[in-house]
Structure 1
Amino acid sequence: MLNNVSYIGRTVWNKRQYRKAPDTDRRTDRVNDPSEWVLQESPATRIISDEL
C-alpha cells in the first residue's frame, strides 16, 4: 500500500500499453520503459505525508 504513488500525490501516465492479441481477441498489457512514463505531481490527491 505504501508503494502506491497515488498515495503520495503523484500520477503516472503512459505506464502500460494495451494490445489486442489477434489469435485470442483478448487485450494484453505490456509495461512501457520507465523512461517513457509521464510523472505528474498532484498534491491535492495526497493521502500520506512524507513524515509518516
Structure 2
Amino acid sequence: SRSGTFPQITFKDNVANVEIDLPSLKEQQHIVQKINTINEKIVLNNQINDNLVA
C-alpha cells in the first residue's frame, strides 16, 4: 500500500535487534543530576532577568 523511493522499515526485521550502548545506571543518574543543576540555574537566571526588566 506504500509507494515511493524509500523502502518500508519494519520493526521486527530492521530495528528489533539493534543494540544501543548506554552508560551505567549510576552514570546516567550523575548526568541527570548535572542537567538538573543547569536547569535550576537557567530558571534562576530567567527570574533575575524578569526582575531586571520590570
Q: TM-score range by the shorter chain?
A: under 0.3
TM-score, with normalisation over the residues of structure 2? 0.20
Give the number of the structure whose alpha-carbon radius of gyration is greater. Answer: 2
Greater RCO (CA < 8 Å, at least 6 residues apart): 1
Which structure shows the bigger proportion of residues in strand conformation?
1
